[in-house]
Amino acid sequence: MHRLLPLLVAVPLLGAALLAALGRVLPRVVAESVGCAVSAGTAALAVVLLPHSSPPLVEWAGGWEPVRGYGVGIVLVGDGPGLGMAALVSLLTLAALAYSWRSFDEPPHGHTGAFPALMLLFQAGMCGFAIAGDLFNAFVWFELMGVVAYALTGHRVEEARAVQGALTFAIVNSLGGYALLMGIALLYARTGELAMAEIGRGLDAGGPPDALVLAGFVLVLTGLLVKAAAVPFHFWLPDAHAVAPTPVCMLLSGVMVQLGVFGVWRIHGTVFSGPGGLPAGDVERVLMVLGAVTAAIGALMCWYQRHIKRLLAYSTIAHTGLFLLGVGTLTPEGDDGVALYVIGHAGVKAALFACTGILLDRFGSVDEHVLHGRAGALRGVAVMFAAAALGLAGLPPFGTALGKSVTEEAVGGPLTVLYVVVSAVTAGAVLRVAARVFLGLGPRPREARGEDAYETTGNGEEPETEQRLVRVPDTMTAVPALLLAGALAAGAVPGFADAVARAMSEATTAGLVHTSVHWTPVGIVLGLVSTLLAVGLAAVAVTRPELLAPPARALPLRRLQSGHVGDYVAWLLVGTTVLGVLALPAVLTG
């Protein structure tokens, strides 16, 4: 079975190569069907491999099994989390391809296969990263998903914002990638190995951590946190996610950002968790501080947006912060909770983007103020949008709610409040949009500050379909419905959560520590509280807009998001310093 692991990458790559080779002659329908079929096949493969992941599948690419404990090849690790991420990635790619089926913008002349081919390459990169057990190999797939994501973000080259967002995305993420590579080189210099487990063993043999380990940790984390969009590495994300084509947004916000968090978890667990790595307390401090700040800033900025896709992008940042907090507990419960949360979030967030895409293609705008009351006719979309918003808030029995309640319990203390508030604020913002756009509630927001307002409006975005939709195609509505059903099932199907928890414990402790994951009364109450809070916030915002309007005090925060790539690079440098300072005690006391 383990021999099939590389196929998770090879199959979508073959599909992409085929589509690119025949792109000139294939009719569009065929190209898109092939894309769907290949991604579905990969998803099926991942799902088939998943039950075999305990004990984890281990494959040495090229058959280079280690001799006397030492290998020269590349190891792939198909454990529960890795294969689970691969399955999630593949399913979401399938959803995105199905969503864009026959409706997405006319393909470039003579390149009918280009868009599905790029999506398949994206899928391959993400799957490769999920199952990588070798640090440099992980970097390679990390780069691949980056490169494809830049190209996909800028796909609509006639849009001024799209190309700008894509360029910012590309520059910041490339720099993060080089930081990651520097970190890998430092770790290689110390240990002389590249397999993650071997590096971890090498560090442990070198005694307590020193400045070199610290620098390796900081640089590797920089690369991953740029992808995960943690504050202050997050600035590229709203710029890119707001302008990328909707199917791409579904993948970017649904899984790519979360793969950054996954990378942090995986690399910390295999490389830095031993005695030669960083002490748990220091890692906890780094992730907790960054997670809390990310969640808070993401939620606040989310509330202030009127560009719906940008609003959703900030809510992704806020939730990434929550994931980082959960991972930062370094406990099995935290890991289980985050795993569930990520699954539920992927479904909910992708569904939200899908619904927003329908708005864009139908009305040619994604601006909350401009669309006020205009989308009343789209009943089904309205229901899905609101349901997804409630899922975002953590209304039981969504998967997000279960994940959130488990994570809250693991985090404990005052941070529970942060979980409740952040999920409530982001969901409240989405509900506010739903109330205004679909129901036309409340007064039409005034264009208060004229043209010098420091904000990005959602007007002037071009529909992604060839012409404005008069009737929404069935695929475009079926996809968000299925995604929501999936998010619901993740929380409601009995046994699913336990299966996730078992897979996590198998991967981290070889099944020794088993945690049981289930609904608790406290969790349900907290979920209901954040839902009610979200509804309340939305109600106040719609009926009395001035009460919750962004105060002048918030302007400096908004000004940070300047759209200037130089600023973002400067913040990236500051971020590495912050990481270093936060983790510094590890070296001073060690």
Outline where DSSP puts E strands in 61-171: 75-78
Among 40, 41, 44, 190, binds another protein (CB under 8 A): 190
Helix (H, G, I), strand (E, B) or coil at 312: helix
Are the C-beta atoms of 521 and 529 separated by less than 8 Å?
A: no
Q: Please, which residue, 108 or 511, has the CB nearer to another protein?
A: 108
Among 40, 167, 293, 540, the residue binding another protein under the rule CB under 8 A is 167
Ramachandran quadrant class, 80 (left: phi over 0; alpha: psi -120 to 50; beta: rest): alpha
Stretch that binds another protein, among 215-223, 317-325, 349-357, 410-418 (CB under 8 A): 215-223
Among the listed residues 338, 341, 348, the one whose alpha carbon sits nearest the alpha carbon of residue 483: 348
- The three-class DSSP label of residue 41 is helix
Provide the mask over 65-104, with x wherever binding to another protein is found by CB under 8 A and - wherever it is not: -----x-xxx-x----------------------------
CA distance 224 to 4: 27
Residues touching another protein: how many (CB under 8 A)?
Answer: 115
Binding another protein (rule: CB under 8 A), the pick from 85, 203, 242, 424 is 242
Peptide bond into 27 cis (omega under 30): no
Under rule CB under 8 A, residue 408 binds another protein: no
Q: Which is nearer to another protein, 407 or 456 (CB)?
A: 456
Phi, psi of 279 (to 5 degrees): -60, 145
Within residues 512-571, the interface with another protein by CB under 8 A covers: 558-567, 569-571
Q: Shortest distance, CB of residue 386 to another protein, whole angstroms?
A: 26
192 touching another protein, by CB under 8 A: yes
Determine if 105 is a binding residue for another protein (CB under 8 A): no
Based on the shown chain and the rule CB under 8 A, indicate whether residue 58 belongs to the binding site for another protein.
no
Q: How far is the CB of 319 from another protein (least distance, A)?
A: 21
Q: Which of residues 286-345 bind another protein (CB under 8 A)?
A: 304
CA 351 to chain centre: 14
Residue 130 touching another protein (CB under 8 A): no
Which of 105, 455, 462, 498 binds another protein (CB under 8 A)? It is 455
From the list 30, 33, 58, 178, which residue makes contact with another protein (rule: CB under 8 A)?
Answer: 178
Contact set for another protein, span 458-497 (CB under 8 A): none
By CB under 8 A, residue 59 contacts another protein: yes
Which long-range contacts (C-beta less than 8 Å, at least 24 apart) are formed by 542-545? 542/432, 542/435, 542/436, 542/441, 542/442, 543/441, 543/442, 545/442, 545/443, 545/445
Closest approach of Cβ 101 to another protein, in Å? 19
SS3 193: coil
- Please tell me the distance from the alpha carbon of residue 415 to that of residue 222, in angstroms, as a whole number: 24
Return the number of other C-beta atoms located less than 10 Å from residue 171's C-beta. 17
- Other C-beta atoms closer than 10 Å to the C-beta of 580 total 19
Nearer to another protein, 485 or 570 (CB): 570
Q: Which of 185, 417, 493, 532: binder of another protein (CB under 8 A)?
A: 185
Q: Binding another protein by CB under 8 A: which of 456, 465, 515, 531?
A: 456
CA angle (181, 183, 53) in 5-degree steps = 80
516-550 in b/e form (b: 16+ CB < 10 A) is: ebebeeebbebbebbbebbbebbbebbeebeebeb
Identified binder of another protein from the candidate list 84, 200, 216, 334, rule CB under 8 A: 216
Q: Which residues contact 477 (CB under 8 A, 6 or more apart)?
A: 358, 380, 381, 384
| Contact flag: residue 233 with another protein (CB under 8 A) | no
- Between 485 and 581, CB nearer to another protein: 581
**Minimum Å distance from CB 400 to another protein?**
28
Piece of 27-35, 165-173, 388-396, 400-408 that binds another protein (CB under 8 A):
165-173
